[in-house]
A and B are shown apart, each in its own frame.
Chain A
Amino acid sequence: MCGIIGLLNKDGKKIDGSLIKRGLSIMNERGNGQGAGFAAYGIYPDFEDYYALHVFLDNMKEAKSQVEKEIERWGYIVYSEEIPTNDIRTFEREQIPYRYFFKPDTRKLLGHDFDERDAIVKMVMRINSSKAGSLVVSSGKNMGIFKAAGWPEEVADFYKIKNYDAYMWLGHNRYPTNTPGWWGGAHPFGLLDWSVVHNGEITSYGTNKRYVESFDYGCSLLTDTEVVTYLFDLLVRKHGLSPEHAGMALAPKFWKDIDKMPEMKREIHTALRLAYSSAELNGPFAILVARSGGFIALTDRIKLRPLILGHKDKTVFVSSEEAAIRAMEPDLDDIVYPMAGEPVVETLEVPL
């Protein structure tokens, strides 16, 4: 059991982190103090043209110099600093959260058949699988992931979440069974500007992992959620599917329903199931997947995990529990319970 939460202001209005903290903390029943985290979009307007790399470092010596060597293979570090944190008496500081603002060097990409985002993916995969004492937590522009082992309030206070202003927030409260207490195992998971929070357990992980591996993604974080991030990056960024189609590929319609569809629609759903059969996610899940500009919310095909949305003016809230949404906004315009496996896509109504 885990708790997931998110909010998006479609006008791009920034909201500070105290609201998402309040919502997530209502659901402490869904976690056990072993992991929590936040993703925030629009928080680095001064550095919006640079990739913000949030990194966990084991130490400020070898780990730091090694990760910088990897980063500088592809470009320049424009600015770097330790992520500001508070000392929290109740939990142990296992990692040093650090951030780099990075500009790829186009000259270093000459002669390669991939673009700068692929270079970032390669960089992240190399660092995260190297076991050299560092871990890239997020790597998108104008966004960042903040996570640790602890209760939501502790993690929020540790990272001074209330000091960040974002038009979109994701949050997660963890009840880990696989890797308790490990900071790297906390959600959200990120790659480029993707971030994913997930409640559930993916029974198709072995199939999904082997599928993304054949496209050069490496699963090194010992937990099933990681693979969801890579699946979205592959299907949406690399293959150009719409988020809706990606959602339909990951939680496909049942054949019995596809068989009854009108021809054009049937053709699309059949093609999605055929081409992306190894991307299908099985087992219970509710996920929120965000990237700059919006998010997609999705449950498994028989909705074995809860997912609720609520709207208030131009703000959309999403969570595992209605109580969490009401804690953030008591006076909602509506509450929506998405159908099993039905992707819900919410995006900014203004340009990024």
Chain B
Amino acid sequence: MNSDYTPSKYDVYVDPTKCRLCGRCIENCSYDVFRKDRDKILTYPNNCVVCHRCVSFCPANAIRIEKFSTPYRDHPLWDAEAKEDIYNQARTGKVILGGMGNAKKYPSIFDRLVLDACQITNPSIDPLREPMETRVYLGKKPKRLEFSGKGNDVELRTKLSPNIMLETPIMIAHMSYGAVSLNTQLSFAKAAKKLGTFMGSGEGGLNQALYDYSDNIIVQVASGRVGVNSDYINRGAAIEIKAGQGAKPGIGGHLPGEKVNKYVSKTRMIPEGSDAISPAPHHDIYSIEDLAQLVRGLKEATNWEKPVFVKIAAVHNSAAIAAGIARADADAVIVDGFRGGTGAAPKVLRDNVGIPIEAAVASIDEKLRKQGIRNEISIVASGGIRNSADITKAIALGADAVYIGSAALIAMGCRMCGKCYTGLCPWGISTQREDLVERLDPEWGSRQVSNLITAWTHELKELMGAAGINSIESLRGNRDRLRGYLLDENILKVLDVETVGA
């Protein structure tokens, strides 16, 4: 008898009348759910993570996965999750790890915001027939311009700070080589280059295979300084200091040793097979003035030619932190909401720390405007952005652009099974096992991701056109074009949005 046994969540059933015994399910499942016993396929459903790989590849459509629950006595407080976490920790004495984003049932603010459209007094604009601009520049903007000369002989005297130019406000979030496969990063890089946008390197160095795409890569400097050297920071289009992450505010990155093969080891400059656990804070940033030094140090090291971004997790005082970042010479603040994904995070942090991206973006934009420093810094929203409506709403709340992470992975087959930390990703995404990595063709992957971003950009243009807006600047911070539907008064106040009907 096992007192700590937790029952399987799924039932995996292979229909013997359809099955041809081709063995593709065995081949494709990296979690060893299937095995062949003479003339039939047997399953061990306890291992199933519902990644759908077997279902997708079964030529006979013979596999059926169903939810399977051995019931516990119903209890509103002591639900299955609460009990199973306890069984698990009683057995192991360890911190529970989880992949992907916050999995608790907090209500979504995005789903309670609605957008506006023009009628009669004001024409909507048809993006199929009229220009519709989605180009965004990220970086410091001058507060005012100075010119010399007169008439046709005017010259600009104000010097512009380096900015990066995006043809669409959608960028691909930082996912490190190590956390994800090289083919995943290659897919992103090809898509970013094709679309005129950017991807994040994550904290894992830059594999040589990505050098051709480095004009479209923002290189990350995180607390472990993994992969950071002069060549690396000079290669990127911009540099991003990662101070926090929405999925695990307050702690550093975590790459399980299982995923550190010899190639990852070389790029990251760490021993093969070793866990790569980045420190919680940067050990040279214990205060805001330390951040200013690091920002300036990185700018000095790159000849003041690269914008330097700072990424923080959305927490209670992120608005004040962002104002500090703006004054620390940084060029953009990336704010990562509590829905932000990850390869591996302690479940307790993932599910309980941080605040929603909607509130964080609104309060940061507001604070920067109040202090008259909104032009000093761009705002990039990330964490749990699921579709073009979320993007449009995030921009209307004050963001310049967004990062998408989970959505880009889903575009390449990810089923959000949340087991990234095992390194067994059957879709070739969050794994370093060569046979699994090969499953992801970077050409196909980049097409999927670029299709997704293209489709969302089309939809964004439709939404802007409906609102009578033909350039994205006029959407940014335009909260008058949002209404809250059944949001409470306090949240409406934070968002500076009126209720529906008002």
Q: Footprint of B on A, CB under 8 Å?
A: 177, 200-201, 203-207, 209-211, 213-215, 238-242, 245, 252, 254-256, 264, 267-268, 270-278, 280-284, 301-302, 304
- A241 with B145: in contact, given A207-B477, A284-B468 (CB under 8 Å)? yes
Smallest CB gap from A273: residue in B: B473
Smallest CB gap from A239: residue in B: B144
Q: Is the CB of A267 within 8 A of B478?
A: no
From residue A275, how far is it (CB to closest CB) to chain B in Å?
5
Contacts of A255 in B (CB 8 A): 133, 135
Smallest CB gap from B159: residue in A: A271
Q: Is the CB of A210 within 8 A of B477?
A: yes
Contacts of B147 in A (CB 8 A): 241-242, 245, 268
From residue A126, how far is it (CB to closest CB) to chain B in Å?
19
A278: which of B146, B160, B163, B374 is its contact (CB, 8 Å)? B374
Per the bound structure, the CA–CA distance linking A200 and B118 in Å amounts to 12
From residue A346, how far is it (CB to closest CB) to chain B in Å?
15
Residues 362 to 391 of chain B near chain A (Cβ within 8 Å): 369-370, 372, 374-375
B474 interface hit (Cβ, 8 Å): yes
B142 interface hit (Cβ, 8 Å): yes
Per the bound structure, the CA–CA distance linking A203 and B118 in Å amounts to 9
Residues 153 to 202 of chain B near chain A (Cβ within 8 Å): 154-156, 158, 160, 163
Q: Is the CB of B160 within 8 A of A274?
A: yes
Contacts of B104 in A (CB 8 A): none
B123: which of A213, A252, A281, A284 is its contact (CB, 8 Å)? A284
Smallest CB gap from B368: residue in A: A214
Q: Footprint of A on B, CB under 8 Å?
A: 118, 121-123, 125, 130-131, 133, 135, 137, 141-147, 154-156, 158, 160, 163, 369-370, 372, 374-375, 467-471, 473-481
**Which residue, B122, B155, B372, has most C-beta atoms of chain A within 10 A?**
B122
Contacts of A284 in B (CB 8 A): 122-123, 468
Contacts of B135 in A (CB 8 A): 255
Q: Is the CB of A278 within 8 A of B473?
A: yes
Q: Is the CB of A271 within 8 A of B156?
A: yes
Contacts of A203 in B (CB 8 A): 118, 122, 467-469, 474, 478, 481
Contacts of B369 in A (CB 8 A): 210-211, 213-214
Q: Is the CB of A206 within 8 A of B141?
A: no
Contacts of B480 in A (CB 8 A): 205-206, 209
From residue B55, how far is it (CB to closest CB) to chain A in Å?
45
Smallest CB gap from A215: residue in B: B372
Per the bound structure, the CA–CA distance linking A240 and B144 in Å amounts to 9
Q: Is the CB of B130 within 8 A of A302?
A: yes
From residue A244, how far is it (CB to closest CB) to chain B in Å?
9
From residue A88, how far is it (CB to closest CB) to chain B in Å?
28
Contacts of A280 in B (CB 8 A): 471, 473-474
Q: Is the CB of B142 within 8 A of A278?
A: no
- Give the 9 A-B CB pairs with smallest separation, nearest first: A206-B480, A204-B474, A282-B474, A277-B473, A206-B478, A203-B468, A239-B144, A201-B122, A207-B478
Per the bound structure, the CA–CA distance linking A284 and B137 in Å amounts to 25
Smallest CB gap from A1: residue in B: B121
The 17 listed contacts between A and B (C-beta, < 8 Å) are A201-B118, A201-B121, A201-B468, A203-B478, A206-B479, A207-B473, A209-B480, A211-B369, A215-B372, A241-B145, A242-B147, A245-B145, A268-B147, A274-B160, A275-B143, A277-B473, A283-B122
From residue A302, how far is it (CB to closest CB) to chain B in Å?
6
Q: Is the CB of B374 within 8 A of A275?
A: no
A283: which of B158, B468, B473, B477 is its contact (CB, 8 Å)? B468
Q: Is the CB of A240 within 8 A of B146?
A: yes
Q: Is the CB of A302 within 8 A of B470?
A: yes
Q: Is the CB of A274 within 8 A of B155?
A: no
